[in-house]
Structure 1
């Protein structure tokens, strides 16, 4: 496994080096095209067959749409529009579009169109790698998450009560184009679904949903007009926390002289689960732990780190937190932390963690020249069965002082990027820092790569020891001068 990991990293480094001269591969999601409120996507496509899958097994809904589209115009087309409401567009995360039958085609370019705010319908625009010919068909796989879309009902429960969530959606996927045939599948993590919308069958057909274990199926439905919706609401058992990270600040500091890569992550964490209807009882909580029942409180977080990680720490606003465990060997490195108190619904818990790793695990020197490649996960974070959602992420990569010609590549959708100088102890001009910002990311994207290429001249590597030598020389010189100053008091002759 280690050899395969190294081979994957080398291939990634090589591909990044080839594209370095073409600029950054990651572009912001927002487009500068401003469309009027009366805009409607040209009706140049129709959906032949559509399967809409909603996964409610985690603390956020994950939706997948497999659709066969056909170009109905007389000209080749390369733009496909996906509509969302103005409220949804603020919470859509990680939207990706692929060719389901051609894995080599990669992820299609997706952009949020800047739209007239008076309209309730907003659009993502998908650009195909090559235009779709008239009457030609293509199978798209569209996936995305909707953050902060699950709500507990009732909103407040007792400490030992079972939690129920509600989720509202449309049995018809709200496409911008006519759909000839479609169905919607809803996957729950439980069979306890006490409330759900029933849709009568058309023309004497069976009503929806059709239940099969933990899966509900709405449809199939016949031809549906563009933009049509069929409101559905489900209420189901979910006795787990709804972990929401409103802000994550992740720093990655590279030191060539120290041979080290230092990681630090600062979390502003919130549990969106049902609030407590009564005051928290520590005695009742302690009694529950003897039989370890499921709970909507956050009791612990598990961080699977890269092999070779070392020197972890865990602190909060009070100081060091001792309730943590770190296990590291040649195959794994796991950091398990327990908050200072169980985090129930409506509670916040800001904290930070950090660790170090050998630079050889992440940085390689390119053959010839003075170029280097850094390959790190864009997002690590906790790995929980209930999942996590991140509202705002700010990732900062701090390179050695004097690093230049910086370029980066990642498959994580970023909203903005910038390069600045970061000044620390014994710096002269400051270290080169790359800052990336992302919105509405879920933990499905953890461990996706961030590849950074940069030049680090030999002269820049000598800057630090030269500064240290000059500083020590200045200190000894000043001490010698002061030591030779005659401060004695003599009488007049």
Structure 2
């Protein structure tokens, strides 16, 4: 229970932060709510539409709801309830104004809550209080990571893979809902088992409409559907970005701890069956290849694992696009793991620009790159690190991804004196749909700071020559006794 409470404290740190030059980790404290807490019934869900997309190896849920203020006073706090065992799997929660999606997302945070409670809450703060009897259409989107159960639990090497997904027909809500519907999108029409009685339209199930459901109403349902694809999950991704102004280079390296979360094999792996399946179309849920699209102009790509360099890779790069295709040393079946690293270089001018005033630079780089697969990729934890030039000061950043921690430290490398300022951002429950979201880092880098490295090199070389000259002029001969 104590571990769960610590998790909620971490997850509550969201938004844009500024970092000083010294080491620090910023976490925001929240009000702890008692076990008996219930959101005040100041809102009503007039109409709610829920979409559950199961086409990838993680569930993506989107809820469009028309909210009305029932209170006599303006209200600006909307609560989203989740089961305690489910909230740890929620990632990328985002709430916006459905009618004006270009505006920034609303502030959303996990409320510190009594860990003994079976229900936990996200607290959404509206940008402006909603006046009495007024309505607002909310767009709520989030991902649910590692929430699938293979059924059957084990399969043969050439069997289809089926996944069991449990959900509630009624959207869990802290408020009364007048009317709601639930839609589920599957990767195929092969859905052999399901509860309730949905309306089937190809690869989509429709439930409802349901009317006049009180706050907290739930009705458990489940579906079992075919997903004969790898369920790719990185328990940890360490992504490093190193900036060199003197070399005009941006070096990226990513270290993955990958696992296949699908159904394990019911028998020993057969190399013969695997070789046959490469020439004939057979059901197969193994991961045999990863495709990593990179930005145009990327160069010097490499791919290594725990043993060493892996030659079964292909890298193609043009000024407009670049692609890295890699094959693990062995196919990954359910329950199998594989750790590796990839890296590449790129021209710094594509990512860094200098402002018109002062010595301030702006770095814009994707928070996530990595594999882009049709079945999707999820990440349990992402540690994103930016190593800035030595002498960089006044470091600030903007990150669209909800973070659990951030810190600034010093990193020493070749010919450094005081060390390079390093920014480290940590997020959990991230999916590959975050590839298009950029981190913006601003920092000051003066001419004196830029000259520090060549001055250090010059001083080092000069010291070597002076030492060599001084040693060469020493008289070390043995004089004859007089």
Same fold (TM over 0.5): yes
Q: Tell me the equivalent position of 1:186.
A: 184
- Whether 1:51 aligns to 2:49 is yes
Q: Tell me the equivalent position of 1:5.
A: none
User: Which residue among 226, 235, 249 is the counterpart of 1:237?
Assistant: 226
User: Which residue among 420, 424, 448 is the counterpart of 1:435?
Assistant: 424
| Cα deviation, residue 295, structure 1 | 2.1
Q: Tell me the equivalent position of 2:451.
A: 462
How high is the TM-score relative to the length of structure 2?
A: 0.94
Within 2, Cα distance between the matches of 1:485 and 1:29?
61
Q: Tell me the equivalent position of 2:100.
A: 102
- Whether 1:306 aligns to 2:295 is yes
With over 3 angstroms needed to count, the CA separation of the structure-2 counterparts of 1:29 and 1:440, relative to structure 1, is: farther
Within 2, Cα distance between the matches of 1:293 and 1:454?
54
- Whether 1:394 aligns to 2:383 is yes
- Whether 1:403 aligns to 2:403 is no
Within 2, Cα distance between the matches of 1:488 and 1:282?
74
Within 2, Cα distance between the matches of 1:98 and 1:160?
44
| CA displacement 1:55-87 (0-9 Å, x = unmatched) | 000000100101001000000011100000111
Determine if contact 1:250/1:396 at 8 Å carries over to the other structure: yes
Q: Tell me the equivalent position of 2:350.
A: 361
With over 3 angstroms needed to count, the CA separation of the structure-2 counterparts of 1:292 and 1:469, relative to structure 1, is: farther
User: Which residue among 351, 372, 376 is the counterpart of 1:383?
Assistant: 372
Within 2, Cα distance between the matches of 1:339 and 1:235?
30
| Cα deviation, residue 28, structure 1 | 7.5
Q: Tell me the equivalent position of 1:91.
A: 89
Q: Tell me the equivalent position of 1:35.
A: 33
Q: Tell me the equivalent position of 2:310.
A: 321
Q: Tell me the equivalent position of 1:81.
A: 79
| Cα deviation, residue 29, structure 1 | 8.5
Q: Tell me the equivalent position of 1:481.
A: 470
| CA displacement 1:443-492 (0-9 Å, x = unmatched) | 11113110000000110001000100011111111222222233333432
417-426 or 482-491, which deviates more: 482-491
Within 2, Cα distance between the matches of 1:387 and 1:28?
31
| Cα deviation, residue 264, structure 1 | 0.4
Q: CA RMSD in A?
A: 1.5
Within 2, Cα distance between the matches of 1:283 and 1:480?
70
Q: Tell me the equivalent position of 1:149.
A: 147
| Cα deviation, residue 429, structure 1 | 0.8
| Cα deviation, residue 294, structure 1 | 4.6
Aligned length, in residue pairs = 462
| CA displacement 1:405-434 (0-9 Å, x = unmatched) | 111012111111111111111111110011
Within 1, Cα distance between the matches of 2:27 and 2:225?
34
With over 3 angstroms needed to count, the CA separation of the structure-2 counterparts of 1:294 and 1:455, relative to structure 1, is: farther
288-297 or 223-232, which deviates more: 288-297
Q: What is the correspondence of 1:114-263 to structure 2 with a 5 Å cutoff?
A: 114-198=112-196, 208-263=197-252
With over 3 angstroms needed to count, the CA separation of the structure-2 counterparts of 1:461 and 1:84, relative to structure 1, is: same
Determine if contact 2:381/2:426 at 8 Å carries over to the other structure: yes
Within 2, Cα distance between the matches of 1:471 and 1:280?
58
Within 2, Cα distance between the matches of 1:344 and 1:53?
30
SS at match of 1:84: strand
Determine if contact 1:28/1:413 at 8 Å carries over to the other structure: no
Determine if contact 1:390/1:440 at 8 Å carries over to the other structure: yes
Within 1, Cα distance between the matches of 2:436 and 2:316?
19
Within 2, Cα distance between the matches of 1:30 and 1:44?
27
| Cα deviation, residue 381, structure 1 | 1.1
| CA displacement 1:209-229 (0-9 Å, x = unmatched) | 011100001111111010110
Within 2, Cα distance between the matches of 1:70 and 1:49?
10
Within 1, Cα distance between the matches of 2:108 and 2:352?
30
Within 1, Cα distance between the matches of 2:28 and 2:214?
28
Structure 2 portions without partners, runs of 5+: 1-15, 20-24
| CA displacement 1:85-110 (0-9 Å, x = unmatched) | 11111110000001111123221110
Q: Tell me the equivalent position of 1:9.
A: none
| CA displacement 1:138-177 (0-9 Å, x = unmatched) | 1111011111101111111111011000000000000110
Within 2, Cα distance between the matches of 1:175 and 1:33?
21
With over 3 angstroms needed to count, the CA separation of the structure-2 counterparts of 1:488 and 1:389, relative to structure 1, is: same
SS at match of 1:285: helix
SS at match of 2:35: coil
Within 1, Cα distance between the matches of 2:102 and 2:367?
23
